[in-house]
């Protein structure tokens, strides 16, 4: 998913959990010991989530979708490609970097204001990868729709 429909090359890394449209940052090599080394690139079809949302909704019958974004530094682009359907999303989770893993990737200072401006509030954060001295490299950040109906319990 991305901000516009197009063909784009994705970097395939030795450890496929590091595949990304972005190039790995060199300083991260010590954290991941070569796992994020690019082995090849593949051409993929990128689409906007708002282009396929209704089709997915019809196919799967969901009524209160929760959006999980784990796109190895491409989260901002995914969010920009689904603005028109975000009011239907009750919550979202984004794996956000606190330390740079990829070149030109947005970090926490970029993504928090964007996600907030899209109508979501942070409700939890959980470490994904840790560096030395307990520093968080990445965090799963969970947000809820600001206008979601509150439970009356």
pLDDT at 4: 77
For 73-125, how does the pLDDT look when each residue is reduced to its tens digit (9 = 90+)? 899 999 999 998 999 999 999 999 888 888 899 989 999 999 999 999 999 99
If pLDDT is split at 50, 70 and 90, which confidence band does 149 have? low
Pairing of strands 91-97, 136-145: antiparallel
Are 105 and 71 contacting, i.e. CB atoms less than 8 angstroms apart? no
Residue 152: what pLDDT? 45
Alpha-carbon distances of 93 from 5, 65, 128, 133, 137, rounded to whole Å: 23, 12, 12, 26, 16
Distance CA 3, CA 83 (A): 10
CB 96 within 8 A of CB 107: yes
CA–CA separation, 106 vs 60, rounded Å?
A: 31
Q: Chain-wide mean pLDDT for the chain?
A: 88
pTM: 0.85
120-130: strand order across its sheet: 66-69, 91-97, 136-145, 120-130
The total number of residues shown for the chain amounts to 153
8, exposed or middle or buried, with CB in 10 Å at 0-12, 13-18, 19+? middle
What mean pLDDT do residues 30-39 have? Answer: 77
Confidence of residue 38 (pLDDT cuts 50, 70, 90): confident
């Amino acid at each position: 998913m991305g901000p516009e429909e197009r063909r784009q090359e994705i970097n395939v890394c030795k450890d496929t959990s590091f595949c990304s449209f972005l190039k790995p940052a060199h300083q991260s090599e010590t954290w991941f010991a070569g796992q994020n080394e690019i082995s090849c690139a593949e051409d993929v079809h990128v689409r906007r989530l708002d282009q396929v949302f209704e089709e997915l909704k019809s196919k799967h019958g969901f009524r209160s979708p929760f959006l999980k974004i784990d796109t190895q530094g491409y989260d901002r682009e995914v969010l920009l490609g689904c603005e028109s359907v975000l009011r239907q999303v009750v919550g979202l989770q984004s794996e956000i970097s606190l330390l740079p893993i990829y070149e030109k990737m947005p970090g926490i200072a970029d993504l928090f204001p964007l996600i907030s401006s899209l109508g979501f509030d942070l409700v939890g954060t959980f470490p994904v990868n840790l560096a030395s001295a307990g520093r968080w490299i990445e965090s799963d950040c969970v947000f809820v729709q600001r206008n979601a109906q509150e439970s009356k319990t």
